[in-house]
């Protein structure tokens, strides 16, 4: 006779699983709320306390911490049989456990004395015991696996390969659970704890890394990390980086907007009366760079917009939705990856360096726009400044952005010299920069960038301010009749 031990917080699907176990000649051990659920469903089971001879105690803190439970999970078949028989320990062949919801409760700002009651002790102990003995014990920690488990129980039973897969998942779950507890408690009195545990699930291999000779994978269950193409080739490492960059900038806009990204920098950004207008305008900012770009849109794509996208080579397009006609059009570009725009998840930024990682967090903050020149920006100039500043925030440093009231005009990114970035932005512009606004991601240490921008036709500039030469730059701006705004916030992006 086989034995199964069922002890779950999340009761979804447990009755159906227990019915299957009972019908397939399993004896069921259970306790607490799980036992109550099984009893109400008329499923026969043995109380753990009756099996061990010890009652549940300490308000349920101690239920399964007993040698007859852990011996049944850890006992090696044909090695420990005699000792198990001596102490009346039954072999437990199947363990079904999910844990107290510490992660969910810790996010609810619960007092610590209440939260610690959601730290599961018996559950992880059983999971680890069963998973250690995976050659003989199948361990189920996820209700999503119940349908396949039911099929296996009704079939030929668990193969050694299946048991190992389940054990891997079990140890990953206890690792994540312990990490959540450790991180929460360690963060109670510090911003960043001395030890940080990270775990991401839903890992998928990518075609390759930044280059074909490199290997890569993506992990995550939400946001861009979880996005999968509705059509097209498999996403690459670079595709995910560019989509992440593009959608981060896209989130700055409420009005219809299009962001085109190439090599993790925007190459065209525009707002519009509708999404087609925004896309066409953004593409024309720099058509050469737009070729092979990643396109992010914040409105539904219809057939006209899909036709426009299909008229050039696009690596990836992401939008909140696509009409059926649009999707039919995009299928003609069978290699183009089409993604649905997910809700953006604001998390800490994690970057690898040799021997470790860097963590960056952006707490809530407030920009303080302050006109520091004799002349205020006009309404049109202020609108252009805001677009340039939004784009500057998401462009590799040093960055200089020229814009008008609806689009970028010239983008200079990633140069060691801010002056060189300005010159590149001017050179990239396909239209006159007369009356344009310009943004700098960091303060201007000298007036030279301002003078170059003014010579190209710019009439307003936005920058963080904070240089020891601010007064000199302000004086030059006044001489040139440039309206200049300080924001007080720097946007380096490395």
CATH code of residue 423: 3.40.140.20
Q: CA-to-CA distance for 82 and 212, rounded, in angstroms?
A: 57
The answer to whether position 22 is within a domain reads yes
For the segment 443-490, what is each residue's pLDDT rounded down to a tens digit? 999 999 999 999 999 999 999 999 999 999 999 999 999 999 999 999
For the segment 31-84, what is each residue's pLDDT rounded down to a tens digit? 888 888 988 888 898 888 888 776 776 766 767 778 888 888 998 888 888 888
Pair 144, 86 in one domain: yes
For the segment 175-208, what is each residue's pLDDT rounded down to a tens digit? 988 988 888 888 888 888 888 888 888 999 998 9
Helix, strand, coil percentages (3-state) for the chain, rounded to 5, are 40, 20, 40
The answer to whether position 492 is within a domain reads no
Concerning whether 70 is annotated as a catalytic residue, the answer is no
Residues 133 and 73 sit within 8 Å (Cβ to Cβ):
yes
The answer to whether position 493 is within a domain reads no
Pair 383, 479 in one domain: yes
Concerning whether 263 is annotated as a catalytic residue, the answer is yes
Statement: residue 243 has pLDDT above 80: yes
Pair 282, 385 in one domain: no
The answer to whether position 27 is within a domain reads yes
C-alpha distance from residue 197 to each of 175, 203, 216, 422 (Å): 9, 17, 21, 42
Q: Looking at the 3D structure of the chain, how many domains does it have?
A: 3
Catalytic residue from among 11, 169, 263, 303: 263
* 131: nearest Cα among 80, 74, 201: 74
Computed on alpha carbons and rounded to an integer, the radius of gyration of the chain in Å comes to: 30
Pair 384, 464 in one domain: yes
Pair 180, 237 in one domain: no
For the segment 104-161, what is each residue's pLDDT rounded down to a tens digit? 878 777 888 888 888 888 889 989 999 999 999 999 999 999 999 999 999 888 899 9
How many C-beta neighbours within 10 Å does residue 215 have? 11
Pair 265, 391 in one domain: no
Pair 405, 292 in one domain: no
User: What is the value of pTM for the model shown?
Assistant: 0.86
The answer to whether position 198 is within a domain reads no
Catalytic residue from among 132, 233, 303, 333: 132
CATH code of residue 55: 3.40.50.1380
């Amino acid at each position: 006779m086989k034995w199964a031990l069922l002890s779950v917080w999340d009761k979804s699907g447990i009755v159906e699983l227990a019915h299957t176990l009972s019908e397939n000649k399993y004896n069921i051990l259970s306790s607490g709320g799980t036992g109550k659920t099984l009893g109400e469903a008329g499923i026969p089971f043995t109380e753990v306390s009756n099996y061990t001879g010890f009652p549940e105690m300490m308000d349920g803190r101690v239920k399964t911490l007993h040698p007859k439970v852990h011996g049944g999970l850890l006992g090696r078949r044909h090695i420990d049989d005699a000792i198990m028989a001596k102490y009346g320990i039954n072999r437990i062949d199947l363990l079904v456990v999910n844990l107290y919801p510490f992660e969910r409760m810790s996010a609810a700002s619960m007092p610590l004395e209440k939260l610690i009651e959601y730290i599961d002790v018996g559950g992880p102990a059983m999971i680890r015991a069963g998973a250690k003995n995976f050659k003989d014990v199948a361990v189920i920690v996820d209700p999503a696996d119940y349908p396949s488990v039911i099929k296996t129980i009704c079939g030929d039973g668990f193969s050694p390969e299946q048991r190992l897969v389940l054990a891997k998942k079990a140890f990953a779950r206890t690792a994540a659970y312990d990490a959540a507890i450790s991180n929460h408690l360690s963060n109670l009195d510090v911003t960043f704890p001395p030890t940080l545990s990270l775990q991401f699930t839903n890992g998928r291999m990518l075609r390759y890394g930044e280059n074909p000779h490199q290997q890569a994978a993506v992990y995550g269950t939400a946001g861009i990390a979880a996005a999968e193409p509705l059509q097209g080739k498999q996403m690459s490492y670079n595709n995910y980086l560019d989509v992440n960059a593009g959608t981060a900038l896209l989130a700055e806009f409420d009005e219809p907007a299009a962001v085109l990204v190439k090599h993790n920098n925007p190459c065209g950004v525009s707002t519009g009366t509708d999404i087609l207008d925004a896309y066409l305008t953004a593409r024309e900012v720099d058509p050469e760079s737009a070729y092979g770009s990643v396109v992010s849109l914040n409105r539904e794509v219809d057939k006209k917009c899909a036709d426009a996208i299909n008229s050039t080579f696009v690596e990836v397009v992401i939008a909140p939705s696509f009409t059926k006609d649009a999707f039919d059009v995009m299928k003609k570009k069978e290699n183009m990856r089409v993604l649905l725009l997910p809700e953006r998840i604001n998390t800490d930024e994690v970057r690898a360096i040799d021997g470790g990682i860097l963590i960056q967090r952006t707490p809530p903050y407030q920009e303080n726009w302050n006109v520091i020149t004799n002349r205020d920006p006009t309404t049109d100039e202020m609108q252009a400044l805001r677009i340039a500043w939004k784009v500057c925030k998401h462009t590799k440093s040093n960055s200089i952005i020229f814009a008008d009231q609806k689009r970028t005009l010239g983008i200079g990114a990633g140069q060691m010299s801010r002056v060189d970035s300005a010159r590149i932005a001017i050179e990239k512009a396909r239209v006159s920069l007369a009356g344009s606004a310009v943004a700098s991601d960091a303060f201007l240490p000298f007036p030279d960038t301002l003078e170059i921008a003014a010579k190209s036709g710019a009439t307003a500039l936005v920058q963080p301010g904070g240089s020891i030469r601010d007064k000199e730059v302000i004086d030059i701006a006044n001489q040139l009749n440039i309206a200049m705004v300080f924001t007080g916030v720097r946007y380096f992006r490395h």
